[in-house]
Structure 1
Amino acid sequence: MAKLKTASFAPGQLVRHARFGYRGLIFDVDACYSQSAEWYESMAKSEPAKNRPWYHVLVDGEVHTTYVAEENLQLCTEETPFEHPLFGHLFHGGTCDNGIFEARYSIN
């Protein structure tokens, strides 16, 4: 098995999807891909590496979450308010400190 890579992002960090451009907020991290083979086949069209970190992400201004490979994410420094229905359940306050929102719970 290939060596696992250390995650570049952590829960509470704002990111931007490199390909689709949406802004997101990480709420959980998997050390490697953990969804089904069917999901990967239908959703991961760019075939990102499965042995690298994958992130559970709240999508800004939307009601859904998404699952994204690390190679498709970039750090986002935009400090405008973040809007998602689950935000208040997972994070404190409406502003971030140095680009990181404080999580209500230790998830990972």
Structure 2
Amino acid sequence: MNSRLAKFAIGQVVRHRIFPFRGVVFDVDPVFANTEEWWQSIPEDIRPTKDQPFYHLLAENDDNSYVAYVSEQNLLPDDSGEPVGHPQTSVIFESFDHGLYKLRPRISH
């Protein structure tokens, strides 16, 4: 599989192209890195290719918050300028400014 550079950045707010949810990117896989069972569970007519970046999102819809794993082809930039209401955003990110989240510094030794 060939991988390519990710179109979206960590901290960027995005929305799903098909389903009514949005989220903030907190990690990126250069190509599909989930289980075959997960990939096969996606309806074939909308199943994405594996050779593209996949994004881990702190996601939300009108009903709840959750973690989503989404292919690049199914994401669009969210231009609302609004923060994501997911309760874990404050754990991973320290601030939200001009439509972007800033990661908290990592503690290491």
> Under TM normalisation by the shorter chain, which class is it?
0.7 to 0.9
**In the alignment, residue 54 of structure 2 is paired with which amino acid?**
W
SS at 1:8 equivalent: coil
For residues 1-108 of structure 1, what are the structure 2 equivalents within 5 Å?
Answer: 2-43=1-42, 45=44, 46-60=46-60, 62-93=64-95, 95-97=96-98, 99-105=99-105
Identity over aligned residues, as a percent?
34
TM-score norm. by structure 1 comes to 0.85
Corresponding letter in the other structure for 1:103: L
Cα 1:29–1:88, aligned 2, differ >3 Å: closer, same or farther? same
Runs of 4+ in 1 over 3 A off after TM superposition: none
Could you tell me how far 1:82 is from its partner in structure 2? 2.1
Unpaired runs of at least 5, structure 2: none
After TM superposition, give the deviation of residue 59 of structure 1 in Å: 1.0
Unpaired segments of 5 or more residues in structure 1?
Answer: none
| Offset at residue 89 of structure 1 (A) | 0.2
- The count of residues paired between Structure 1 and Structure 2 equals 103
